[in-house]
Amino acid sequence: MLDCMIKVAINGYGTIGKRVADAVAVQKDMKVIGVSKTRPNAEAFVAKQRGYPLYIADLSKKSAFEKAGLSVVGSVEDMCKAADVIVDATPGDVGATNKPLYEKLGKKALWQGGEEHEIAGFSFNSSCNYKSAIGRQFVRVVSCNTTGLCRVIHEIDKEYGVSHVHAVMVRRGSDPGEIKKGPIDAVVLDPVGVPSHHGPDVQTVLPHISITTMAMIVPTTMMHMHAIQISTKKPVNRDRVIDLIKNHPRLGLIKKTLGIKSTAELKEFAMDLGRQRSDLWENCIFEESIYANKNELCFFQAIHQEADVVVENIDAIRAMMGSEKDEVKSIAATNAALGFTTIQNNH
Ligand code: NAD
């Protein structure tokens, strides 16, 4: 049984890597064959506690790991050799430096949104272009914001046709564990110029979508908030949009009855529901904000930056390995293994 499982290595066991490792570990068709760390820090201890074989980028640091009680199996290259597919979750731009290694070993690899589209020549979102990823050697899973945008824009596009999207992203300043980043007391336009990189990034997945995005960073760690306005080719029906959201495996509806008006309350709700790490893998679309008038649709959605791309990584692995040709089945398998049903089914 174990031999037919997809052997996955996670290069870079940080915010995204540790979540992907845990998500891989619960899938019926995959196993974690190793994770890599650069330093013997708290995350390395968690990897040990979870039973993930630990590999290190720089073998000269092996004694530092072993002094800390962390046994090291080998180098990152050793780990990659043992894998069918490598999830590169090293920091943005570091991933690109690993490509020659994956090429040398002839391994499949997927990168995260911190890398440029060109690294893989293919940017992925399960709901939008799963089938085009089947059998590929290299794939880039788009960033958290782009993932959230692609999921919902694609769904509205299928139903009504999208003429244009305007989206404003209010972005978290840092992840909760990142103590060195800000801002502490500012709203930073990031960038000042329009559009932000998010619009062009959506077009790496959905090239035909016309979209303009603006972005700013604010002093919060919880989630991003998107204000989205979509002009459609056919008139929009609000009830139908709510049904589309309710029936989508990665779109969540925050019902008005919850009384939730903020990312803080949303994260608290996820924690109380017992979600692992209080992760929200789905878009969180505020029901009360959904406004439909003729050919215009507006709404707010919150995106949990640490979580939404994790499930996409799992589907990307299946597509690249060619072990599941149907995105509906892959998405269902990924969600089921995580015990995840979208948030509207929890209240
Ligand atoms: P992170 O800094 O939390 O984790 C990166 C990990 O890689 C760390 O454990 C670090 O020690 C390790 N590392 C650094 N250099 C390495 C090397 N040469 N070899 C092996 N490991 C190395 O970063 P992150 O937030 O998890 O981001 C990873 C990628 O995911 C980036 O491309 C980022 O843009 C993308 N991403 C991040 C978020 C987010 O909100 N954190 C959301 C979506 C996508």
The answer to whether 117 and 92 have CB atoms below 8 angstroms apart is: no
Residues 82, 200 within the same domain: no
pLDDT at 1: 45
Residues 171, 217 within the same domain: yes
Both structure tokens of 31: 């196993």
If pLDDT is split at 50, 70 and 90, which confidence band does 316 have? very high
Return the amino acid letter for 178: E
Dihedral sign from CA coordinates of 106, 112, 115, 119: positive
C-alpha separations of 322 from 28, 108, 110, 309 in Å: 15, 12, 14, 20
- State the average pLDDT over residues 326-332: 98
- State the average pLDDT over residues 165-189: 96
* Distance from chain centroid for Cα 121: 18
pLDDT in tens, 220-230: 999 999 999 99
Residue appearing with tokens 């020549």: 121
Is residue 144 part of the annotated active site? The answer reads yes
Contacts of 52 by beta carbon, 8 Å cutoff, 6+ apart: 10, 13, 21, 25, 32, 34, 35
Residues 334, 287 within the same domain: no
Domain of residue 150, residue span: 144-308
CATH of the domain at 290: 3.30.360.10
Residues 333, 291 within the same domain: no
- Residue 86's φ and ψ, nearest 5 degrees, are -115, 125
CATH of the domain at 332: 3.40.50.720
Residues 167, 61 within the same domain: no
Residues 153, 119 within the same domain: no
Residues 166, 254 within the same domain: yes
Residues 122, 269 within the same domain: no
Indicate the helix (H) or strand (E) that contains 169: strand 162-172
Atom number, ligand 1, closest to the C-alpha of residue 92? 32
C-alpha separations of 299 from 189, 236, 289, 292 in Å: 21, 13, 5, 9
- State the average pLDDT over residues 287-303: 98
If pLDDT is split at 50, 70 and 90, which confidence band does 347 have? confident
Q: Considering the chain, what is the average pLDDT of its residues?
A: 97
Counted domains in the chain: 2
pLDDT at 343 over 60: yes
pTM exceeds 0.85 for this model: yes
Residues 50, 116 within the same domain: yes
89 alpha carbon to ligand 1 midpoint, in Å?
Answer: 5
- Whether omega for the bond prior to residue 195 falls within 30 degrees of 0, making it cis, is yes
Residues 185, 259 within the same domain: yes
CA–CA distance, 75 with 181 (Å, rounded to integer)? 30
Ligand 1 and 146: CB distance under 6 A: no
pLDDT at 274 over 50: yes
- State the average pLDDT over residues 188-210: 98
pLDDT at 9: 98
Mutational pocket test of ligand 1: of 15, 41, 45, the residue with most ligand atoms within 8 Å of the beta carbon: 15
107 alpha carbon to ligand 1 midpoint, in Å?
Answer: 20
Percent pLDDT > 70 in the chain is 99
Residues 238, 334 within the same domain: no
pLDDT in tens, 122-137: 999 999 999 999 999 9
- Residue 50's φ and ψ, nearest 5 degrees, are -80, -10
pLDDT at 4: 86
CA angle, 38 then 40 then 42, to 5°: 115
CA–CA distance, 53 with 72 (Å, rounded to integer)? 8
pLDDT at 115: 98
Atom number, ligand 1, closest to the C-alpha of residue 97? 18
Ligand 1 and 11: CB distance under 6 A: yes
pLDDT in tens, 106-125: 999 999 999 999 999 999 99
pLDDT at 346: 79
Residues 175, 318 within the same domain: no
- State the average pLDDT over residues 331-344: 95
pLDDT at 3: 65
Give the active site residue among 80, 144, 150, 284: 144
Ligand 1 and 40: CB distance under 6 A: no
Residue 295: CB atoms within 10 A of its CB come to 15
pLDDT at 59 over 70: yes
> Which stretch of 2-6, 51-55, 64-68 has the lowest confidence by average pLDDT?
2-6
